[in-house]
Amino acid sequence: MLDIAVATSGDYPDLDEDSVPLLDALRSLGLRCEPRVWDSGFDPAAARMCLIRSTWDYDSRREEFLAWARDTNDQATLLPSLETVIWNTDKRYLSDLEARGVEVVPTVWLSRGDRLSEVMAARGWERAVVKPAVAAGSRGLIRVGLAEAPSAQPAADALLERGTVLVQPFLSSVESDGELSLLFADGELTHAVRKLARPGTSAFSPSTGGLSCSSSPATRPSPRRIRLSRLSMIPRLWRGSIW
């Protein structure tokens, strides 16, 4: 029996490049670990723990993924916890975090019949991002300017047919400062990475190719900045997740 089955997707049967160092580090601790594709011959009884890593294809079939997670959780220790998996695979978690005092990017939850142009104009948003609530990476993301909002409406409506959709302002800082990823392990901030969209691209997902990264001591935000934004409370809220 394995100690840890590291769950991945069929696109990354040997894990993604980012996860290989983690697998090596786990093995160096004496743990028997192997990658396993979650939806292809996965046997939850064959490992004591299942660590979810590169399951980036769950978003088009979330219910199937959650059923797999429940089944796995019945037979092994699931990490992150089942509750975390259910909660974090739908971006409506942003509302929960906001209710707990975390400062989140302003978010409007689109309803059937809502006009993008009216949503944006009412908030003074010249540019916005429309995205499905269940999405891995930047899949399904639509970037829209106020003037083009009417022509983007059919695409937004199509997303809405498939599930919950959110609209957020496109922050100008994205182009100058990029997006800062804060990485936590067991509640502790381990490192920070600044992600910058390359010219001509609008998103950070590695699948778009629009990503460049830097990590240095200067990238790391000050503890005061983290405290003021109340981001530091997040790892304490969800101890069920190691991240």
Interface with another protein by CB under 8 A: which residues? 3-4, 17-19, 21-22, 24-26, 28-29, 31, 48-49, 51-56, 58, 77, 79-80, 84-85, 88-89, 91, 93-94, 97, 102-105, 136, 168, 171-174, 177, 179-181, 183, 185-186, 188, 190-191, 193, 206, 213-215, 221, 225-226, 228-229, 231, 234, 238, 241-243
Torsion of CA 52, 55, 60, 65, to 10 degrees: -40
Pick 161 or 188: Cβ nearer another protein: 188
Minimum separation from the CB atom of position 49 to another protein (A):
5
Burial class (CB in 10 A: 0-12, 13-18, 19+), 143: middle
Pick 2 or 155: Cβ nearer another protein: 2
Pick 131 or 156: Cβ nearer another protein: 131
Minimum separation from the CB atom of position 156 to another protein (A):
19
Tokens 């629009």 map to which residue?
A: 210
Minimum separation from the CB atom of position 84 to another protein (A):
5
Pick 14 or 151: Cβ nearer another protein: 14
Pick 102 or 160: Cβ nearer another protein: 102
Minimum separation from the CB atom of position 113 to another protein (A):
26
Pick 147 or 183: Cβ nearer another protein: 183
Can you name the residues that pair with 194 across neighbouring β-strands?
A: 180, 214
Element (H, E) at 161: helix 149-162
- Angle (CA) 174-132-162 rounded to 5° is 160
Minimum separation from the CB atom of position 86 to another protein (A):
10
Task: Please give the structure tokens belonging to residue 18.
Answer: 């980012």
CA atoms of 229 and 195, how far apart (whole Å): 19
Cα 63 to Cα 67, 69, 90, 195, distances in angstroms: 6, 10, 11, 31
